[in-house]
Structure 1
């Protein structure tokens, strides 16, 4: 059994947290937490398809110039090649799952 309580933890970006729930080459499942005002670097994956599913709060996702506000219990698919950036524009933390197939390791190019 795996949970946020016993999963491998890492920190990223602006005081953001991640927990590897499943870490394989063919599938990556991460539980992430972003504090209010945090954002990741805009980037693209050449091969990986991702699905962001919000557990609590509201995640703002910019994808190919279009803004999406993903509420709790909603998700959004990011296809390979789509330029995107996850942000937390809300006043409180947002927690979400990121499911990537295959893994995003070595498949990320940051954009300006």
Structure 2
């Protein structure tokens, strides 16, 4: 077992200038740290199998899930069960940094909504 950080793990980009680092990648668990600049968001979607937990490290996240808006501040989290349609956005002026934990891993399990 090795220590992990954003300096030692695989980095990827998504959307418009958003960053992700796979901190844990296994067959049953995914832990990712992400950074979302101001004004950016993901596309509304759901996961057939993966449930997710979002935990805010800095900034304020706006998560819409099944029509309900949740504002998450630093050191707050939200569990999104599988099959629930959701989107995350940063509507603030500072970067949003958070951890998203998925089990099973959510990559390849994302279904985009119209």
Task: Give the match for residue 46 of structure 1.
Answer: 48
CA RMSD between the two structures? 0.6
Which stretches in structure 2 are left out of the alignment for 5+ residues? none
Instruction: State TM-score, norm by structure 1.
Output: 0.98
Unaligned runs of 5+ in 1: none
Query: 2:67 is matched with which residue: 47, 65, 68?
Result: 65
Aligned to 1:22: 24
1:105 is displaced (CA, Å) by: 2.2
Residue-by-residue CA offset, 1:7-34 (whole Å, 9 max, x unaligned): 1100001110000000112000000000
Task: Give the alignment of 1:1-112 within 5 angstroms.
Answer: 1-112=3-114
Secondary structure of the equivalent of 2:7?
coil
For 1:56 and 1:5, the matched residues in 2 are separated by 18
Query: Which aligned runs of 4 or more in structure 1 are off by greater than 2 angstroms?
Result: none
